[in-house]
Amino acid sequence: MSDFAALWAEIVAVGRSADGGYRRYALTPPELTLRDWFRGQAGRRGMTVTEDGNGNLFAWCGEPWAPGTVLTGSHFDSVPGGGGYDGPLGIVSAFLALDRIASPRNLAIGAFVEEEGGRFGVPCLGSRLMTGAITPARAAALTDRDGITFGEALGSTPTGQISGISHLSAFVELHIEQGRALDVPVGVGSAIWPHGRWRMEFAGAGDHAGTTRMTDRRDPMLTFAHTVLAANEEARLIGAHATVGRVQAEPNATNAIPSMVRGWLDARAADTATLDRLLESVIKRATERAGRDGTELSVVAESVTDEVAFDTELARRLSALLGDAPILPTGAGHDAGVMSSHVPTAMLFVRNPTGVSHAPAEGASNEDCEAGVEALARVLESLT
C-alpha cells in the first residue's frame, strides 16, 4: 500500500453516510474527530499544534508564525452529502509532502474551519476571520439550522485578525480539481471566478390548495419556479454559472399554497462585469414574474467574492517546476482566495476523472494523489 493510501484509509470512513456522501460539518463530531487526527499526525512528526481562536488549527515545523514560514493546508468540513476529497486531500497531502522533505523547516500545515459554509452559511469563515475579512461579532452570531451560533459552537467569541499572517512568505493549497479540465495528474491554479450567494425571498399569500380559485392566488412557488428557469437560461446565454440548490417553503404543506418560498442563488462568472449582468437580468425577470403572480421579491447578498487572481509570477514558477503543469482557473471558492490578498498564494489541483464535486462521485486515483503529494513536496521545498 502506498503511503498515501495508508494515511487516507485512516480518515476515509469519518462522517461518511451509507450512500457514500459525507456530512463533516464544522465543529460537529466527524470534523472534531478529524481535528484530533490532525493533532495526532502533527505529534508523530514532532510539530507544535496551535489554535488561532477562530477555529483554525495549525501544526508547525519551527516557531509558530516565525517570519518566512510557508503555510500549506486546506479544510476538513464538507457540504451536506459531499465527497471526501474536497478539503481533506490538501491536509493529508501536506503531512505526506512534509515527510518527503529532508529537513523541513519554516513550514506549517493549516486546517481552516467552515470553508464550505455548510453549517453557518458563510464560506471560508475561518480564513475570513484570521484575515479580518469578517468581524468576530458578525461571525459569532451566525447560526446553524438548529439555531446554534458559531460563537457557541466555538465556545467563545472568535479572536479575529491574526497579525502573524504578514509573517508568512507563502500559502499553498492543494485541492481536488472540481471539473474535468485537467488531463494530467496535477495543475496550478490561476484565478478564482468571482462568485456569490444571494437569498431570494418570494412572499405571497398562504391559502388552501383545494378551495382557493386559481385567479385569487398569490402563489410564491410560481415566482420561485420561474426564477429558477430564468437563472439557468440567463447563465447559459452569458457563459456563466447559476444554480438554485437550496429551497425552503413555508408552511411546506401539501395542501397549502405557500406563504413564502426562499431560494438561494449561487452565481459565478469569469469576471465581475459578467456576474453583475447575470444577477441583474435574473432579478429583472423574477421581478416581472412577481408582478404577474401578485408576490413580492426581496434579494439579500449573503456573500459575494470578487475575482481572485493568484500570484501570477508564483503560478508560472510552480508550473515550470512541475514540468509545465497546466495553469487553470476555478469556479469554486477556496481559503486560498481569501488568503491571497495577504500572502503570495498558489493552488495545486489534483485530477478528478468524473469532474464531479460536492457529491459522492468526486474522486481521484491513488496514483494521482501520490503525484499531488510529490508536486506539493517539490513546491514547498522550493519555497522554503
| Residues β-bridged to residue 268 | 195, 241
Q: Which of residues 237-256 bind a second copy (CB under 8 A)?
A: 241, 243-247, 249-256
The amino acid at residue 213 is: R
Closest CA to 369 of 172, 95, 121, 166: 95
Position 353 contacts a second copy (CB under 8 A): no
> Binding residue per annotation — 268?
yes
Torsion-angle region of 10 (φ positive above 0: left; ψ -120 to 50: alpha; else: beta): alpha
Alpha carbons 335 and 197: distance in angstroms, whole number: 16
DSSP state of 164: G
Q: How far apart are CA 353 and CA 370, in angstroms?
A: 15
Q: For residues 96 and 103, what is the distance between their CA atoms, to the nearest angstrom?
A: 14
Using CB under 8 A as the binding rule, whether residue 335 contacts a second copy is answered as no
The nearer residue to a second copy, 266 or 381, going by C-beta atoms, is: 266
226 is in an annotated binding site: no
- How far is it, in rounded angstroms, from Cα 183 to Cα 269? 23
**CA 93/CA 72 separation, integer angstroms:** 10
Residue 167 annotated as binding? no
Report the alpha-carbon distance of residue 216 to residue 222 in Å, rounded: 14
Does residue number 163 form part of the binding site for a second copy (CB under 8 A)? Answer: no
195 is a contact residue toward a second copy (CB under 8 A):
yes
Closest of 354, 285, 297, 374 to residue 85, by C-alpha: 354
Residue 275 grid cell: 456576474
Q: Which is nearer to a second copy, 252 or 341 (CB)?
A: 252
Compute the least distance from the CB of residue 196 to a second copy, in Å.
10
Which residue in the set 24, 35, 75, 268 belongs to the binding site for a second copy (CB under 8 A)?
A: 268
| Footprint of a second copy on 42-61 (CB under 8 A) | none
Using CB under 8 A as the binding rule, whether residue 24 contacts a second copy is answered as no
Is 105 annotated in a binding site? The answer is no
Is there a contact between 150 and 125 (Cβ–Cβ < 8 Å)? yes
Residues 91-120 that bind a second copy (CB under 8 A): 116-118
Tell me whether residue 256 or residue 321 sits nearer to a second copy (CB atom). Answer: 256
Q: Kindly tell me which residue out of 169, 212, 281, 287 binds a second copy, with binding defined by CB under 8 A.
A: 212
How many residues bind a second copy (CB under 8 A)? The answer is 71
Contact segment (CB under 8 A) with a second copy among 26-34, 134-142, 150-158, 177-185 equals 177-185
Contact status: 356 vs a second copy (CB under 8 A):
yes
Which residues from 271-310 bind a second copy, rule CB under 8 A?
302
255 known member of a binding site: yes
358 among annotated binding-site residues: yes
* Binding annotation for Zn(2+): 75, 86, 116, 175, 358
